[in-house]
Amino acid sequence: MGTWGAGNFDSDTAADHLSILTERLVSEVEEAMSGDPVELEPDEYWGVAVPCNLEILHVLASRRWVGVVLPEAATVEAWKATYLAVWDANIDGLSPAPEHRAQRRAALERTFDQLVEAIRIS
């Protein structure tokens, strides 16, 4: 098909680029989820980067561009259970303010849930 519009993401090459980018984001999350749970703790790199990757995937999914590669909704739901179990087991050790703890937990839940919803409607 080649090019179907004047936008930055309206071509086969752009779709290929988006698939490479989104596959990388998904692969990073898959690796983090299947690795040592310590790496998912709230003060560790993947404990911060996983929700960032999911948020980026959600933003890209919401644009409905050709080439965005997303995991299955059931996969994201399993990731949510794993991630939040680690988060819940470790967050109090960092002594967060109660309101921050509640707000952050809600933000994390929303991050997973909004990606699941985007996958289901795509």
Band (122; pLDDT cuts 50, 70, 90) = confident
- Cα 115 from Cα 23, distance rounded (Å): 15
- Cα 107 from Cα 113, distance rounded (Å): 10
Give the residue from 120, 35, 116 showing the smallest Cα distance to 83.
35
Band (1; pLDDT cuts 50, 70, 90) = low
What are the tokens at 92?
A: 């109090």
Let me know if residue 80 belongs to a domain. Answer: yes
**Total number of domains in the chain:** 1
Residues forming beta bridges with residue 11, ordered by sequence position: 3
Cβ neighbours of residue 22 closer than 8 Å, sequence gap 6 or more: 57, 60, 67, 68, 69, 70
Global pTM reads 0.94
Q: Average pLDDT for residues 31-46, to the nearest whole number? A: 98
Domain interval for residue 112:
12-121
Let me know if residue 19 belongs to a domain. Answer: yes
Model pLDDT for residues 45-87, shown as the tens digit of each residue:
999 999 999 999 999 999 999 999 999 999 999 999 999 999 9
